[in-house]
Amino acid sequence: MSKLLYFALLIVIGTLLGAFLGTAVSAALPAGSPLARLLAVEISPGLKPTTVDLGVLELTFGAVIKLNVTAVLGLLVAAVLFRKVLA
């Protein structure tokens, strides 16, 4: 496998693990705590689903990435690990 494929896979796994851990920790904390509110903040950049109807063919395009603080931290940790181990 190429280094680019390893990098993409590691970034996706790091982001998913970070998002999962953030959601789990946020659920375990008391509801009104500042840390729980910080971990619950999400941004969703992307393209909402858009449909193109051509009469005989209907296409739907869209992609949205949901990121929170821990997902970004997981992404950064994965990038550093890639640099240290595989680069």
Query: pLDDT (tens digit, 9 = 90+) per residue, 60-82?
Result: 999 988 888 888 888 899 888 88
Q: Give the up-direction half-sphere exposure of residue 64: CA atoms within 13 A in the CB hemisphere.
A: 8
Rounded Cα gap, residues 75 and 40, in angstroms: 17
Contacts with 69 (C-beta within 8 Å, 6 or more apart), sequence order:
22, 38, 39, 41
CA distance 45 to 28: 27
Q: Residue 87 has what pLDDT?
A: 62
Query: Tens digit of pLDDT for each residue in 29-40?
Result: 888 888 888 887
| pTM across the whole model | 0.71
% of the chain exceeding 90 in pLDDT: 17
What percent of the chain has a predicted confidence (pLDDT) above 70?
Answer: 98
Tokens representing 8 are: 């993409």
pLDDT of amino acid 1 = 67
